[in-house]
Structure 1
Amino acid sequence: MDSKNRTPIITEFILLGFTTDPEINAALFVLFFIIYLVTFIYVILLVEAFECQLLVLMAIDRYIAICHPLRYPILMRWGNCYRLVALLFIVTFMLCTFPSILSPITICFNQINHFMCEMLAFIKLSCDDITSNELQVFSVSFITLLLPLLLILLSYAAIIYSVLKIRSAGRSKAFSTCTSHLTVVALYFGTAMLMYFGPASMYSTDQEKYSSIFYVIITPMLNPLIYSLNNREVKDTVKKELLGKITK
């Protein structure tokens, strides 16, 4: 075939989008741009902060169950739980997204010394003075990390005080309901606070990356295992499976 009659090689593609109406396109641009701003870098931050609030809610749940068992069905009924979770999500969303959107930074570099877009590593790419941004991150971390941890510690202090009044036969059962939650709290808050409240020189270092592995990957991975092993039905099922394999 003659080379002059060949179809030229396509190197670019044009996306036609939803419509050719410029007004609709402008509205869609604004809508999707806002969605993009909310979801990019912010999803992981929102999930991390929201888990802290859920751990507080679980601590309060255990406090009411142990210290006020008669009022538990009323205070922690499903309707109240749904409202609390929705409220925590809204507050966390506002804390994690609005400050970053209202005070954007100018990016000068495109290499992040991390395995994800971690906020502390990301702001180091800025050309501007990031002192105010670091203060902003510290303030949000104080609300989403230190305050939840303080509430959890206060809840367990009240739980321990109440459990000590119970006769020894019931103490082990009361404490066993809290072991899985305390394990997750120690893993999650310990590593997160080490990174967000550590020295500024630790930002974007290998030590920070290793710390984030625990609260981003390892802790969520271990959550089902930690909570399920504290469930009597799961334990009985595991024992039956193991005994069945041994007898075979």
Structure 2
Amino acid sequence: MKAHRINNVTEFFLVGFTTRPEMQVFLFFVFLVIYLLTVTENLVIIITIKLNIKLHKPMYYFLCSLSFLEVWYVTVTVPILLCHFLTQHKMIAFAFCMAQMYIFISLACTECVLLAVMAFDRYVAICIPLRYTVIMNNTCCMLMAVGSWLIGFSVAMFKAIIIFRLNFCGPNTINHFFCDISPVLNLACNDISLAELVDFILGMIIILVPLSVIIFTYFSIIEAIIRIPKERQRKAFSTCASHLAVVTIFYSTTIFIYARPKKLSSFNLAKYVSIFYSIVTPALNPIVYCLRNREVKVALKKTLQGCH
């Protein structure tokens, strides 16, 4: 007989962080400030790049795309977390949970590819500067940016299809503050070995392939910088330092969570580590780029003076 999909779960309970009322209120304001700061920072960067002609370069075009991604990255998780801080009814509908998981995974995969694209842009600018304008033309930049989003959402779709086919017949408690892959997989009532394997393989591909590109480009960049005059080395390093800092923060936490073949043994640890790559990192990225990039700081200052 043909097997039918069984799904007795209509909603999930998100455990979150704490049940103490005073801590709930405190955490609400902490995450609210972080969320508003993140959205504001990234929108300011997008507006600054749009309004300053000097920043109409491939590097800042990709930075604008990254900032746009970061706004949605926090918006897909933090608002519902804020609602749960103020209520004891920490339920999320099954369909909404699946949608949240898919969108979050898609954005994470897209960021992996986009960071590799930004590294390639720096590679061309420093290693083959005479051909930079030819290689990184408007068409190429658009294709690379759009391609990053298509690859990210396509990989996430394969992951989601495997998970959507699982049976959920109870329990329905997710030990997390949003619907992430591992906690949701742990609630399936049938064999999840295939789903875990597919998730692990696709996770390794979407993490290691872009990371390999980044490592290769930075080895080439360092080799090229060593050969140029010392007075130009500092400027060359400064254009890469901010991107390298963002890559380090993002990949160090992402690899810890997703590049593992088995279910996480400590969901409490995973839950707190997830805060860094899903909430803290999007808040830090604009600050890192502004502090380490003189062009962005000058353009931002002019934009703020113009608004004033």
TM superposition score category, shorter chain reference: 0.7 to 0.9
Match of 2:243 in 1: 181
User: 1:116 matched to which residue of 2?
Assistant: 178
Offset, 1:234: 4.8
Equivalent of 1:129, from 164, 167, 191? 191
Cα displacement (A) at 1:88: 2.3
Aligned to 1:60: 120
Q: Which has the larger radius of gyration?
A: 1
Q: How far apart, CA to CA, are the structure 2 residues paired with 1:239 and 1:79?
A: 30
Measured in 2, the distance between the counterparts of 1:201 and 1:60 equals: 34
Partner residue of 1:76? 136
The answer to whether the 8 A contact 1:38-1:97 is kept is no
Q: Could you tell me whether the CA contact under 8 Å between 1:121 and 1:204 is conserved in 2?
A: no
| Amino acid in the other structure paired with 2:245 | T
1:155 and 2:213 correspond: no
Percent of paired sites with the same residue: 39
Instruction: Please state how far the C-alpha of 1:121 moved relative to its aligned partner.
Output: 1.1
Q: What residue in structure 2 maps to residue 18 of structure 1?
A: none
Distance (Å, rounded) in 1 between the aligned partners of 2:227 and 2:179: 48
Shift of 1:239: 9.2
Counterpart of 1:25 in structure 2 is none
- TM-score by structure 2 length? 0.62
What residue is the counterpart of 1:169 in the other structure?
Answer: 231
The secondary structure found in structure 1 opposite 2:190 is coil
Give the 3 Å change call, closer, same or farther, for CA 38–112 of structure 1 in structure 2. Answer: closer
**CA offset digits 1:4-39 (Å, max 9, x no partner):** xxxxxxxxxxxxxxxxxxxxxxxxxxxxxxx97984
Moved over 2 A (4+): 35-40, 197-204, 233-240
CA contact (8 A) 1:114 1:204 kept: no
Farther-moved stretch of structure 1 (102-111 vs 221-230) = 102-111
Q: CA deviation digits over 1:113-160, x for unaligned, max 9?
A: 000001111111101121111111111111111111111000000101
CA distance in 2 between counterparts of 1:115 and 1:219 reads 17
In 1, Cα distance between equivalents of 2:98 and 2:175: 23
The answer for unaligned runs of 5 or more in structure 2 is 1-94, 303-308
Given that 1:195 and 1:208 are in contact with CA atoms closer than 8 Å, whether structure 2 keeps it comes out as: yes
- Could you give the per-residue CA deviations for residues 133-188 of structure 1, whole angstroms, max 9, x where no partner exists? 11111111111111111110000001011111112111111111111011110100
Structure with greater contact order relative to length (CA < 8 Å, sep ≥ 6): 2
1:105 corresponds to which of 143, 146, 166? 166
- Which residue pairs with 1:208 in the alignment? 270
How far did residue 80 of structure 1 move?
0.9
Q: Which 5+ residue runs of structure 1 have no aligned equivalent?
A: 1-34, 241-248
